[in-house]
C-alpha cells in the first residue's frame, strides 16, 4: 500500500509547492496514513524538515514565545518533541500585537481506546490554550475514519463522542473550546460546507495525488476529504465564534504526519483571501516495542491506553517496553544503557515534568548506574499517576458537558 | 473540452456497468455538461437508449400509468418528449400496490433567467406529483454551479433562490414539495451529509472518470460532486419527510443528460441497502436556432426566457426560430415544410396542449397549406400565454413562501 502510493507520488508531475514526497528510497515514509522510519531510532526528523520545507523550532523562538506568554515553555517544547513549525513567528508576533488568532487541532477517531501517545498533542494544545488565551477548535474526523476504515457511520460517530471525552479529560476550558465531529457539524453549519467547497474548488486531483498519494482506485470521498480537514483553517467555518471575520488565522499543533493537509491549505488559503495557517509539528510517539514498530489499537500490548489499570500499565511496561539496556547486569553496569532507543526513557521525555529528574535518569542510565528495571519503575509510577488523573477527570464528565463542548456557540472572546 | 473528456472516457478501463460513453466518433456527445448531436434533427435518441442501457417508454407502459393514476398521460409523455426510462414499471407497480415512493428532480442554477426549456421537466414533474400524489424533492445544485463556473458562493445561492421562484411558479403544492439548495441544506441536515459520505465511499475515482469523464486537472470538488446529486435518491436524506425509512425509492424525471449521475447511483444504492432510483428521461429542448445549436443564458436570442415580454417573444420567434419552410411561398405551397427541423413546430410539440390542433398544424405545414408565418403566430400566442401565466404566478410568490418551500419540514404524507 505504502509502496504503490509512493509510486503514484513519484509519477506525478504537477504538485503543490514543496509537497514533501520521498525523493529516494532511503527516505522515511511519512504521510497521514503511513509512518515508517528506516533507522533504529525511528524517523530522521532533520531530513523530514528539509523535505517538507518547514523549519526547526529554535531556542530563540521558544524564548520569544516564553516572553510573550509569560510562561516557561512546556516540556514537550523544551525537549524538542514539538520540534518543527511553519510561521510560528507570525503567531507570536500577533500575540505581541494583541491581534486575534485561534488554535486548531484534531483527531481521527479510529478506535474507542486512545493511547497515551494520542494525548500528547492535546496536552500540548491545552498548554498553548492556557498560555495564549485564545479559542480552540478540535475537529473529530469521523467521516475520514468512515471513508478509510470498514466501519459504519454510527460506529464512527460513537467513537468520535467517546474520544471527545478522553480529550476533554485533558482539562480543556469549555468556555474557550469547541469540539466538533464532521458528521454532526457539517449538518449544523452551512458556512462550514461552503468553506469546504471553496477549498475543494481550489485543489485539482493532480495536486491531491501529489500531496497524499491518492490512486485511481481510491474512492471519491477520500479524494475530497482533504478539503474537510482544511476548512477549519478558515475562521468563517465557525461563525458562532468568529462571526464573518476572514482575518483571523490559526495555529495548528499536530504530529508531523498531518502536515500534507496543511501544506495544501497554506497553498490555497491566500487565494481565498485568508491568512495561511501556522503549524507546530510533533515527533511521533513510539510504540512500546520501539520506534520502528507500530502502535495499533488492535494490539493492546503495543501501547499504554488511557483505559489501562495501574496493574496493566506495570505489566505492559515491564514486559514489552523495548529496553536500551545491556544483556546482563554486569554488562549494563560496565557499558551503560542507550537512552536513544530505550522506550521507557523516551516515554519519560514525553511525560516526566521535572527536567532535573529526567537529566539525572539519563545520566544514570547511560552510565550504567541505573538498571532497566529501575528506569521502568520510574516510568510506571509516572504513567500510573497520569492515567489515573485522566481517568478520574473522565469519570466526572457528564453527557451534558460533552453536548455543551460540541454545541456550536460563542466562546469567551469578543470578535 | 468535450474531446479531451472523450479521450479520458475511452482510455479508462474500469467502469460502472453500462456507463454510456460514446464508443465511436459518430456517436452524439451527451453528458451533464455537453450535449452535441451529429445530425440536423439533433440527438439520435434510439442510439442513446441503446448506449445508455435504458428502455423506451412503451405505449403499454403509458396505458398502465394512465390506468393506475386515472389520468390521461401528459402531452409530454404522449408525444414522446419523455421517451426513455429505467424501472418505471417498478414505480407503477408500487402505486398499484399503494406502496410509498417519491419524486426527485433538480436544477443547476447557472443563471438568473430560466428559459422555457428549463421549465419542461418541472411542468412534467408537476403533472406526476398531481397524478401520483406523492412527495417531491427538488435539489438546486448551487454547489455544482459554484464548482463548475467562475461564480461566488453568494451569487450561486442567490441564483438558486431566484430559480426556486421560477420553479414554484409552475404550481407545485407546498404541502407535498420540498425545495432545497445544497449550500443551505447540507448545513441543516446531518443525515444528508452522512448519505453523501455513504455514496462517496462507494465510488472510486476510476468509476467517476468512466461515468463523467473527469480528468486529472479537475478539482476534487467536481470529482466528489456526483455523491451530492446521488444522495437525494436515498430517502433517509430527508428525515423530516421519510423519518428513517430506507425502503422508499424515488422516481426521477430529468433530461437524459443527467442519466450518468443516476446510472452511478443505481449501481451504488443496492450495496447500501436502498432500492434503485427509477428514471423518466426527456429529450433535449432545442435552441431557437435549431436542434444543433446551443441555448445559452448569455445569448438572449437563443431561447425564450420566462422573463420575456410578449413583444420579445414575438420578435424572437419571428426573427430567430429556425424554419423548416421553403425559400419562397410558391416553393412552400408546392413542396410543404419540414416539421422535423422546424423549431416552431417542435416547440408546439412541447407546449401545445391540444393534440388535434397539433396534428392539424403538422399536416397543414407539411402539405404546404400553412406558411411559416402562420405557424409562428400560433406558437407566439401559445408561448405568450404560457409565459404570462408563469409571470403572473411568480409575481405573487412571497419571500415567506419561498422560505417555507425550502424549510426542512414534514410533508402531507404519513411515513
pLDDT at A13: 34
* Rounded distance between C-alpha atoms, residue A372 and residue A332, angstroms: 9
Mean pLDDT of A112-122: 93
pLDDT in tens, B65-89: 999 999 999 999 999 999 999 999 9
Angle at which helix A190-202 crosses helix B220-230, to 10 degrees, equals 140
Closest Cα partner for B236 from B192, B203, B176, B175? B192
pLDDT at B22: 64
| Contact across the interface for B203 and A219, Cβ inside 8 Å | yes
pLDDT at A25: 66
pLDDT at B25: 66
User: Taking 60 as the threshold, does the pLDDT of residue A157 lie above it?
Assistant: yes
Name the 3-class secondary structure at B280: strand
Question: H or E segment at B198?
Answer: helix B190-202
User: Taking 80 as the threshold, does the pLDDT of residue B7 lie above it?
Assistant: no
pLDDT in tens, B168-203: 999 999 999 999 999 999 999 999 999 999 999 999
Place of cell 506568554: A69
Are the beta carbons of A385 and A376 closer than 8 angstroms? no
* Rounded distance between C-alpha atoms, residue B16 and residue A210, angstroms: 26
Q: Give the pLDDT band of residue A12 (cuts 50, 70, 90).
A: very low
pLDDT at A297: 64
**Choices 3.50.50.60, 3.40.50.300, 2.40.50.320, 3.40.50.620: CATH for A3-288:** 3.40.50.620
Mean pLDDT of A113-129: 95
pLDDT in tens, A390-410: 999 999 999 999 999 999 999
Mean pLDDT of B279-293: 89
Q: Which of B14, B188, B204 sits opposite A190 (nearest CB)?
A: B188
Mutate to test the interface with A, among B14, B184, B205 (most CBs of A within 10 A): B205
pLDDT at A66: 97
Of the two residues B384 and A296, the one the predictor is more confident about is B384
Longest dimension (CA), chain A: 67
pLDDT in tens, A356-367: 999 999 999 999
**What percentage of residues in chain B have a pLDDT greater than 70?**
92
Of the two residues A134 and A34, the one the predictor is more confident about is A134
Q: Give the pLDDT band of residue B29 (cuts 50, 70, 90).
A: confident
Q: Which of B188, B192, B217 sits opposite A204 (nearest CB)?
A: B217
pLDDT at A14: 36
Query: Alpha helices of B27-114 — where are they, by DSSP H?
Result: 45-52, 59-69, 75-78, 88-96
CA distance B125 to chain A (A): 28
Q: Which of B194, B216, B221 sits opposite A200 (nearest CB)?
A: B221
Query: Alpha helices of A133-189 — where are they, by DSSP H?
Result: 142-148, 153-168, 182-185
User: Taking 60 as the threshold, does the pLDDT of residue A250 lie above it?
Assistant: yes
Q: Give the pLDDT band of residue A8 (cuts 50, 70, 90).
A: very low
B213 φ/ψ sector (left φ>0, alpha ψ -120 to 50, else beta): left
CA distance B259 to chain A (A): 19
CA distance A150 to chain B (A): 10
* Rounded distance between C-alpha atoms, residue A49 and residue A304, angstroms: 29
User: Taking 90 as the threshold, does the pLDDT of residue A215 lie above it?
Assistant: yes
Are the beta carbons of A390 and A306 closer than 8 angstroms? yes
pTM beyond 0.95: the answer is no
Dump the DSSP string for A325-389.
S-SSHHHHHHH---TTT-HHHHHHHHH---HHHHHHHHHHHHHTSS-HHHHHHHHHHHHHHHHHH
* Rounded distance between C-alpha atoms, residue A17 and residue A1, angstroms: 24
Q: Give the pLDDT band of residue B36 (cuts 50, 70, 90).
A: confident
Sort out which chain A residues have CB atoms less than 8 A from B183's CB and list them. 190, 193-194, 197
pLDDT at B8: 41
Mean pLDDT of chain B: 92
Q: Which of A190, A199, A205 sits opposite B183 (nearest CB)?
A: A190
Rounded alpha-carbon distances, angstroms, from residue B387 to B116, B375, B392: 8, 18, 8
| Contact across the interface for B194 and A187, Cβ inside 8 Å | yes
* Rounded distance between C-alpha atoms, residue B403 and residue B174, angstroms: 11
Mean pLDDT of B142-151: 96
Sort out which chain A residues have CB atoms less than 8 A from B218's CB and list them. 204-205
Q: For residue A84, give every residue at least 6 positions away whose Cβ sits within 8 Å of its Cβ, in sequence order, or none.
A: A45, A48, A49, A52, A54, A55, A56, A57, A256, A279, A280, A281
B149 C-beta neighbours (distance < 10 Å), count? 14
- Name the residue ranges covered by the structural domains of chain A: 3-288, 302-395
Residues 132-151 of A with CB under 8 A from B: 143, 146-147
**Choices 1.10.240.10, 3.30.830.10, 3.40.50.150, 3.40.50.620: CATH for A302-395:** 1.10.240.10
| Contact across the interface for B223 and A221, Cβ inside 8 Å | no
Query: Judging by DSSP bridges, how do beta strands A136-140 and A177-181 pair with one another?
Result: parallel
Q: Which residues face A305 on adjacent strands?
A: A115
Sort out which chain A residues have CB atoms less than 8 A from B201's CB and list them. 146-147, 219, 221
The alpha carbon dihedral of A70, A76, A79, A84 has a sign of: negative
pLDDT in tens, A15-38: 454 456 666 667 788 888 888 777
Measured at the CA of B155, the angle between CA A221 and CA B163, to 5 degrees, comes to 90
Measured at the CA of B76, the angle between CA B72 and CA B82, to 5 degrees, comes to 110
Q: Which of B200, B223, B226 sits opposite A205 (nearest CB)?
A: B223
Query: Judging by DSSP bridges, how do beta strands B278-282 and B250-255 pair with one another?
Result: parallel
Of the two residues A170 and B36, the one the predictor is more confident about is A170
As to burial, measured by CB atoms within 10 angstroms (0-12 exposed, 13-18 middle, 19+ buried), residue B406 is: buried
User: Taking 50 as the threshold, does the pLDDT of residue B2 lie above it?
Assistant: no
* Rounded distance between C-alpha atoms, residue B258 and residue B277, angstroms: 13
Comparing alpha-carbon positions, the chain A residue that sits nearest to B203 is A219
User: Taking 60 as the threshold, does the pLDDT of residue B47 lie above it?
Assistant: yes
pLDDT in tens, B347-395: 999 999 999 999 999 999 999 999 999 999 999 999 999 999 999 999 9
Mean pLDDT of chain A: 92
Grid cell listed for B176: 407535498
Of the two residues B291 and B411, the one the predictor is more confident about is B411
Mean pLDDT of B108-123: 93
Task: Give the phi and the psi of residue B3 in degrees, each rounded to 5.
Answer: -70, -45
CB distance from A201 to chain B under 8 Å? Answer: yes
Count H helices and E strands in chain A, helices first. Answer: 20, 9
Question: H or E segment at B136?
Answer: strand B136-140
* Rounded distance between C-alpha atoms, residue B4 and residue B6, angstroms: 5
CA distance A270 to chain B (A): 16
Amino acid at each position: 500500500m505504502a509502496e504503490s502510493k509512493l509510486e503514484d507520488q513519484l509519477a506525478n508531475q504537477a504538485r503543490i509547492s514543496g509537497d514533501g514526497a520521498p525523493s529516494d528510497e532511503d527516505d522515511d515514509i511519512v504521510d497521514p496514513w503511513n509512518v515508517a522510519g528506516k533507522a533504529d531510532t525511528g524517523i530522521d526528523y532533520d531530513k523530514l524538515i528539509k523535505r517538507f520545507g518547514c523549519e526547526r523550532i529554535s531556542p530563540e523562538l521558544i524564548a520569544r514565545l516564553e516572553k510573550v506568554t509569560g510562561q516557561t515553555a512546556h516540556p514537550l517544547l523544551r525537549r524538542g518533541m514539538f520540534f518543527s513549525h511553519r510561521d510560528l513567528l507570525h503567531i507570536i508576533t500577533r500575540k505581541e500585537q494583541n491581534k486575534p488568532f485561534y488554535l486548531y487541532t484534531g483527531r481521527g477517531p479510529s478506535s474507542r481506546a486512545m493511547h497515551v501517545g494520542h494525548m500528547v498533542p492535546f496536552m500540548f494544545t491545552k498548554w498553548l490554550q492556557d498560555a495564549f488565551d485564545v479559542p480552540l477548535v478540535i475537529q473529530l474526523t469521523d467521516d475520514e475514519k468512515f471513508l478509510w476504515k470498514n466501519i459504519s457511520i454510527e460506529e464512527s460517530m460513537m467513537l468520535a463522542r467517546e474520544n471527545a471525552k478522553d480529550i476533554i479529560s485533558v482539562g480543556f476550558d469549555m468556555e474557550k473550546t469547541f469540539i466538533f465531529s464532521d458528521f454532526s457539524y457539517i449538518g449544523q453549519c452551512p458556512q462550514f460546507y461552503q468553506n469546504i467547497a471553496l477549498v475543494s474548488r481550489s485543489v485539482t486531483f493532480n495536486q491531491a495525488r501529489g500531496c497524499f498519494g491518492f490512486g485511481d482506485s481510491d474512492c471519491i470521498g477520500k479524494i475530497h476529504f482533504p478539503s474537510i480537514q482544511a476548512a477549519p483553517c478558515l475562521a468563517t467555518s465557525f461563525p458562532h465564534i468568529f462571526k464573518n471575520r476572514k482575518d483571523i488565522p490559526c495555529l495548528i499543533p499536530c504530529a508531523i504526519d498531518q502536515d500534507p493537509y496543511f501544506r495544501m491549505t497554506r497553498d490555497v488559503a491566500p487565494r481565498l483571501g485568508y491568512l495561511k495557517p501556522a503549524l507546530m509539528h510533533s515527533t511521533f510517539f513510539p510504540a512500546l516495542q520501539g520506534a520502528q514498530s507500530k502502535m495499533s489499537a488492535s494490539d493492546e500490548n503495543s501501547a499504554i491506553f488511557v483505559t489501562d489499570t495501574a496493574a496493566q500499565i506495570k505489566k505492559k511496561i515491564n514486559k514489552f517496553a523495548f529496553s536500551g539496556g545491556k544483556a546482563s547486569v554486569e554488562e549494563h553496569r560496565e557499558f551503560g544503557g542507550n537512552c536513544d532507543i530505550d522506550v521507557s526513557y523516551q516515554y519519560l521525555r514525553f511525560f516526566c515534568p521535572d527536567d532535573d529528574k529526567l537529566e539525572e535518569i539519563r545520566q544514570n542510565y547511560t552510565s550504567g548506574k541505573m538498571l532497566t528495571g529501575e528506569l521502568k519503575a520510574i516510568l510506571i509510577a509516572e504513567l500510573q499517576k497520569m492515567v489515573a488523573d485522566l481517568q478520574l477527570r473522565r469519570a466526572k464528565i457528564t453527557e451534558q458537558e460533552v453536548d455543551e463542548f460540541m454545541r456550536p456557540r460563542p466562546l469567551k472572546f469578543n470578535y
